[in-house]
Amino acid sequence: MRSEDTSLVAALRAPTPSCSFEFFPPKDDAGEAVLWQTIADLEPLDPTFVSVTYGAGGTSQERTVRITARIAEQTSMRPVGHLTLVSQTRGEIESVLKQYAAAGVDNVLALRGDPKGGPRAPWEPHPDGMTYAIDLVELAAQLGGFEIGVAAFPEGHPDARSLQHDAEVLVAKAEAGAEYAITQLFFRSDDYFSLVERVRALGSDIPIVPGIMPILNFAQVARMAELSGAAMPPEVLEQIEPIADDKDAVRAKGIELATQLCRDLLAGGAPGLHFITLNRSKATREIFEALRADGLV
């Protein structure tokens, strides 16, 4: 049984900010080799945890579970296994949770997941499955033995009726057993802090960890932001668009902007930073080293 002082939630509630990394399951063995090199590069930074996502539309489940288990077995890092509802029966989801538990993975991120047609497509639950992330939170809590995380949306989930309703959904997930949240990518610290204020006003103190994705490829990040419902703010566009054709300049400016965002978030009391790495370590290490030089991590 996990002792309370070594739990992920305890780390997120500690005075020292957490640092964590997100990976995605590669499509082939060559991509997996790159991922394991990235994991080796980032392990010395001693992250609070690392997570492995599902592929689009719930694909890559087997590879996600296998990679997450291997991180638990062969590294010093604490893995968080992603789990979505897309195209799965309740029994299949329960089976994945039990696979995680058997591999020593006692942290899961409970997500509805994006429909197979993409984040903007209509949601169609499996006939024998579940519809909302809160259903998955309740299932994981019933099985027991897991610390459960969920997603949060600084600019609101694309399906949310309002920002207030979106905050109410997050609080409901916390009341159902979620113990922390990780946000979707965003670009303005004000959007993050406004979400935190809405949640706190509803009486919840769930730790909300900001998700950070530096703009290294303008078109790629703009597309991901559009799909997730995050706006590319004018103050960011006016710095990136004039250099959009210069890949090196975009990368340097993207790292600069992300580093400043991280500084602002930590200065405002964010419990940590969750870096969306896209399975590459260099940019994340550059941002981390800049923050460490500032004495922030």
Backbone Cα Rg of the chain:
18
To which residue do tokens 């979400």 refer?
195
Is residue 138 among the annotated active site residues? no
Catalytic annotation, pick one of 22, 138, 147, 179: 22
Q: Is 154 helix (H, G, I), strand (E, B) or coil?
A: coil
| Residue 207 CB-density burial (10 A; 0-12 exposed, 13-18 middle, 19+ buried) | buried
First to last CA, the chain: 29
125 membership: H or E segment, kind and range? none
| Residue 156 CB-density burial (10 A; 0-12 exposed, 13-18 middle, 19+ buried) | buried
How many other CB atoms sit within 10 Å of the CB of residue 173? 26
Angle CA(205)–CA(210)–CA(214) in degrees, nearest 5? 175
**Chain centre to alpha carbon of residue 8:** 14
How many other CB atoms sit within 10 Å of the CB of residue 205? 9
Cα-based torsion angle of the residue sequence 114, 274, 51, 228 in order, rounded to the nearest 10 degrees: 10
Rounded to whole angstroms, the Cα distance separating 127 from 132 reads 13
The set of catalytic residues is 22
